[in-house]
Amino acid sequence: MTEKKRKAVYNPQADTKWIENNKERKNYLTRRSNARGFIRNIATADDLMELQSMIVDRLKPQDALRGFKELLNEYGVEDPLRETKLKLAISELDNNGVKVNQFTFERFKQEKHSDVKADLIETLDNTIEDLEKALENVKMGKAPSIQIKGHNKGH
């Protein structure tokens, strides 16, 4: 004996309840849909050029993160929480008028490591800490001085 499939029934109360419980998500989805529709169907060439410029400016704080991403990928390290903390610190500094340049890791790559992944995580933690301290300084009206910490040399 075969079971009959249940037909989908629209439930407006369920929709209303979801919207009430997910206002931020609903707002995000609506705005994203509007932006995509505008770009696909309405935007002029001038609009598209302006949007492109805005997107490039918005992504600039992530350029600094790119150096870390490349290093993490090179050594097979995935740490989304630390990457998010780093990205947030860079974005907050950028929002406060402090540009963070792309990180380079030539010295790190040339040094010997007994546990390169642990050293990489330590370097990431130190960088996050330094950027957060720089942000604190900026918020207190001080110069965003950063003391670059090395990792332990005994590796």
Q: In the prediction, which pLDDT does 34 show? A: 96
Give the count of beta carbons closer than 10 Å to the beta carbon of residue 67.
Answer: 14
Whether 155 has a pLDDT exceeding 60, the answer reads no
What are the tokens at 48?
């598209």
pLDDT in tens, 4-42: 788 888 999 999 999 999 998 899 899 999 999 999 999
φ, ψ of residue 143 to 5 degrees: the values are -70, 145
Label residue 62 by pLDDT band (50, 70, 90).
Answer: low
pLDDT in tens, 106-154: 888 888 889 989 999 998 899 899 999 999 999 888 887 665 544 433 3
d(CA 153, CA 42): 58
The DSSP symbol for 44 reads -
Average pLDDT on 73-78 reads: 87
12-21 vs 23-37: helix crossing angle, rounded to 10 = 100
What are the tokens at 131?
């950027």
d(CA 154, CA 147): 20
Whether 1 has a pLDDT exceeding 70, the answer reads no
Q: In the prediction, which pLDDT does 59 show? A: 67
d(CA 143, CA 121): 27
Q: In the prediction, which pLDDT does 150 show? A: 45
**What Rg, from alpha-carbon coordinates, does the chain have?**
23
Where helices occur in the chain by DSSP H, the ranges are: 12-21, 23-37, 45-74, 80-95, 106-110, 116-139
